[in-house]
Amino acid sequence: MRLKGGWQAEAGDAGANFIMCRIFTATESQAPMAFADPENAPDAERKADRESGAVAYAARTFADATALAARLRPGYPVYCVRPKRIKADTRRFLRGFPGRTLYAVKCNPHPLVMQAIYEAGVRHFDTASLGEIALVRELFRDATAYFMHPVKARAAILSAEQVYDVSHFVVDHTDELDKLIETTKDDEITIFVRLATSSKGAVLDLSRKFGASVDEAVKLLDRIHREGYRAGIAFHVGSQCRDPMAFRDALKRVGLVLARTEAEIHYLDVGGGFPAPYVGEDVPPLEDFFKAIEAGVEQLRLRRDAVILCEPGRAVVASGLSLLVQVQLRKGDSLYINDGIYHSLSEPLVFNNHLPVRLIRPDGPAAAETRDFTIYGPTCDSHDVLPTPFTLPVDVREGDWIEVGQVGAYSNALATGFNGFKPETFVELEDEPPGPRNTPTQNARQAAVR
């Protein structure tokens, strides 16, 4: 790292400290495969790194949710991580995305999740805070954290750079650029400009709060260039984007910027937003998005060595976690469970999505007939009710467990401790998670509703 001035020791808060056990579970044996970015590599090539680098997190492993419920009989919610599924979903990016895949830590920062993504071969991480940067750098010695929040505390910039060797930052405003230039000590950092894009086709707009217009982006990039920094452009088309053309449109907007800036672009970051295959959602395959991005990038005037990045969160982890909840009370067609909108299940409020569910009753069979149940969360707040019902056997009762699938994205990451409820237990399961392929009753019903 080349420093602009003298080193200052006031690095500030070094972020969270994570204490882990060095216990590794066996990993799947992998056939050799092609990876789009040589900086990422599959497990087999990374064994040496694992011995010297990554810190592992030990979790109890069960065959499935029934075995888990029979053994622990938990009255608290339990996150069920399927590392194999997370690795498979991660590898789709590593194999198919035409560039480098970063994982967006905000989506699910749990060490078990991070470890699966690392073991799949990801070495670069999109981080938004010093806490996330600390997590990445303390878990994996050879990983790179990119500080991709357009608004940063000066102390966080300084600590990121000096404690954690961060050298990629993003801005979307001239005052933030001033702040970064005044604070950072390193001339060799890369500064991305976050460009606002249309969020057409996405469930969650991420350009209302952040993102420069084309005019503003040109001014920012020109200044970055004049100041002698490496320049990059970043955007985010919005989360759960169902239209590959949204990336093409965003890349056309990048083209408008490139036509006017004097800066050379070393990095182009197309963000996250890739959709998860939620039950009932007919989203195009990821490969369609990769093709659209490749075609869009080909039209751009970029340096030959420019690195194309993506920062998926949801598409990598949504299917890899389920949640085991328990029914605390049944009142007619309403079930009161031990998790809800203030904890792991806030996403359905935004998405109105149907989560795949299955009843878990280790001690005996359940009725074959099903019906819809209104689901109330554990808090005293009457808003704590899910917007869509769960379809379950008609004889569901107090003490039964329900396994809720496709909750890997923005679940534990958003859970509050409201009313004294805070789901904190994580285990690993070995079976296939509930999802579009294995909750046929519910899928058929939802297809009929649509």
Ligand X SMILES: Cc1ncc(COP(=O)(O)O)c(C=O)c1O
User: How far apart are CB 354 and ligand X at their closest, in Å?
Assistant: 19
The span of 15-23, 31-39, 114-122, 270-278 binding ligand X (CB under 6 A) equals 270-278
Sign of CA pseudo-dihedral 119, 125, 129, 133? positive
Query: Would you give the binding string for ligand X spanning residues 297-316, x where CB under 6 A is met?
Result: --------------xxxxx-
Residue among 126 and 403 whose Cβ is closer to ligand X = 126
Among all residues, whose Cβ is closest to ligand X?
272
- Min. distance of Cβ 164 from ligand X in angstroms? 18
Residue span binding ligand X (CB under 6 A) among the ranges 49-57, 92-100, 268-276, 388-396: 268-276
* Single-letter amino acid code for the residue at 441: T
E strand map for 128-245: 144-147, 168-171, 190-194, 202-204, 230-234, 239-241
- 447 exposure class (CB count in 10 Å sphere: 0-12, 13-18, 19+): exposed
CA-CA distance, 167 to 164, in Å (whole number)? 9
Q: Which of 126, 138, 403, 428 binds ligand X (CB under 6 A)?
A: 126
Give the range of 104-112, 243-251, 260-268, 440-448 binding ligand X by CB under 6 A: 104-112
> In this complex, which beta carbon is closest to ligand X, that of residue 149 or of residue 223?
149
Minimum distance of ligand X from residue 170's CB (angstroms): 8
CA angle 349, 84, 82 (to 5 degrees): 40
Cβ nearer to ligand X, comparing 281 with 395: 281
Q: Is 104 in the site for ligand X (CB under 6 A)?
A: yes
Lookup: tokens for 436: 């579009």
| Rounded CA separation 339/415 (Å) | 9
Query: What separation, in Å, do the N-terminal and C-terminal C-alpha atoms of the chain show?
Result: 56
Torsion angle defined by CA atoms of residues 326, 330, 333 and 339, in that order, rounded to the nearest 10 degrees: -30
Q: What is the DSSP string of 316-380?
A: HHGGGEEEEEEEEEEETTEEEES--TTTT--HHHHH-PPPPEEEE-TTS---S-EEEEEEE-SSS
Figure out which of the listed residues 55, 56, 68, 107 binds ligand X, where binding follows CB under 6 A: 107
For residues 343 and 341, give the distance between their C-alpha atoms in angstroms, rounded to a whole number.
5
Q: Of 326-365, which residues contact ligand X (CB under 6 A)?
A: none
Site residues for ligand X, window 162-181 (CB under 6 A)?
A: none
Q: Binding ligand X by CB under 6 A: which of 78, 122, 133, 148?
A: 148
Nearest 5°: the CA angle 19, 54, 147 is 85
- Is 249 in a helix, a strand, or coil? helix
Indicate whether 137 belongs to the interface with ligand X (CB under 6 A). Answer: no
Residue 197 touching ligand X (CB under 6 A): no
Handedness of CA 84, 88, 94, 100 (dihedral sign): negative
Determine the 3-state secondary structure of 173 from DSSP.
coil
Q: How far is the CB of 103 from ligand X (least distance, A)?
A: 9
The number of residues that bind ligand X (CB under 6 A) is: 18
- One residue of 85, 87, 236, 354 binding ligand X per CB under 6 A: 236
Alpha-helix residue ranges (DSSP H) falling in 207-330: 214-226, 245-260, 286-298, 314-317
Interface residue with ligand X among 116, 206, 283, 324 (CB under 6 A) is 206
Q: Which is nearer to ligand X, 57 or 93 (CB)?
A: 93
Please select the residue that binds ligand X; options are 35, 57, 164, 274, rule is CB under 6 A. 274
Q: Which is nearer to ligand X, 46 or 236 (CB)?
A: 236
In 3D space, the residue among 251, 245, 238 whose CA is nearest the CA of residue 313 turns out to be: 238
Q: Which is nearer to ligand X, 313 or 378 (CB)?
A: 313
For ligand X, give the closer residue by CB, 20 or 414. 414
Stretch that binds ligand X, among 99-107, 222-230, 251-259, 281-289 (CB under 6 A): 99-107
Q: Which member of 239, 344, 412, 446 binds ligand X (CB under 6 A)?
A: 239
Question: In this complex, which beta carbon is closest to ligand X, that of residue 202 or of residue 323?
Answer: 202
411 C-beta neighbours (distance < 10 Å), count = 27
For the chain, give me the number of helices (H) and strands (E)?
13, 19
Residues contacting residue 448 through CB under 8 Å, at least 6 positions apart: none
Distance from C-alpha of 333 to C-alpha of 370, rounded to nearest angstrom = 11
Helix (H) or strand (E) holding 66: helix 65-72
Closest approach, Cβ 246 to ligand X, in A, equals: 12
Site string for ligand X, 398-437 (x = CB under 6 A): -----------x----------------------------
Cβ proximity to ligand X, 315 vs 321, nearer residue: 315
Q: Which is nearer to ligand X, 92 or 106 (CB)?
A: 106
Q: Please state the closest distance from residue 148 (CB atom) to ligand X, in A.
A: 5
Q: Which residues bind ligand X (CB under 6 A)?
A: 104, 106-107, 126, 148, 206, 236, 239, 271-274, 311-315, 409
